[in-house]
Amino acid sequence: MKVLANDGVSQSGIDALEAAGIEVITTKVAQEQLANYINENKIDVVLVRSATTVRKEVIDACPDLKIIGRGGVGMDNIDVEYARYKGLHVINTPAASSSSVAELVFAHLFGGVRFLYDANRNMPLDGDSKFKDLKKAYAKGHELRGKTLGVIGFGRIGQATAKIALGIGMKVLAFDPFIEETTITLDFYDNRKIDFNLKTVSKEEVLKEADYITLHVPAQKEYVIGKAEFDAMKDGIGIVNAARGGVVDEVALIDALENDKLSFAALDTFENEPNPAIKVLMNNKVSLTPHIGAATSEAQDRIGTELASQIIEILK
């Protein structure tokens, strides 16, 4: 049995697969050569992250392929229903990266309320000559404690983000059309636990009441946040998108930043990925990361071992 990890896989995943007698190939195959490579090398399993797509044409061209695996949550780069219709197993790791994404959201939030995204641009340029000016410019930060975090999309990652928010003393308002109520459990280092029972609210209430908003939704045909949603928000809030590019209208976002409707925005995903719009990249109110929400060593280890476990169970 052979596995092609076309976008890479952790060493822990490789070790688990090889221990089960499964060969792992980590060669990076160009998208246009993927089907040929799978057939020529008799690949049974192809693993992808977000860079490689497995669409109908690849599925049709590879009749001996048995499993398609996605290292992460969203599977919008795979024609999932068609693959299953053709008899393939399609697997992913929906829980493995939740904590990593949630922590990145708060890295952006903490940086946003204290202007780190801008200070880290300007201190290397002017820190030696304009120190007092910069100190004055960044001296009106805010605390997150006591503020309201709006969470749009309250699945695993949204709930993991809510845990951090509750832990630092924020109020959480969550919207999710598929979830009415859930229990968030905060686990502490000394084995103590506290349960919070949260009922979701309307999207309109989140937009109206939140001081900060974070999105955790799958790819959509329409914008989840556009001009109308920005208009419904409080003035001066911050927004984070570590979900998918295209769920936020970036033209409306830049307009909201320039009109001070938003105090800052933080983007880990982009509409035109991997070539984000220059207006987004150059705006001095935007905190930027290159789609690294799940890119921690811990998350990648969990993803690798979870994929390996599922593959072994299916193939054996």
Active site annotation includes 142: no
Catalytic residue among 258, 273, 298, 313, which? Answer: 273
Q: Where are the alpha helices (DSSP H) in the chain?
A: 11-19, 34-40, 56-61, 80-85, 98-113, 116-126, 131-137, 156-167, 203-209, 227-232, 250-258, 278-282, 297-315
Decide: 55 and 297 in contact? Cβ < 8 Å.
no
Catalytic residue among 271, 291, 302, 306, which? Answer: 291
Active site annotation includes 273: yes
Decide: 295 and 1 in contact? Cβ < 8 Å.
no
Q: For the chain, percent helix, then strand, then coil, each to nearest 5?
A: 40, 20, 40
Q: How many CA atoms, within 13 angstroms, populate the side-chain half-sphere of residue 10?
A: 21
DSSP annotation of 168: T
Catalytic residue among 108, 156, 244, 302, which? Answer: 244
134 phi, psi to nearest 5 deg = -65, -40
Catalytic (active-site) positions? 244, 273, 291
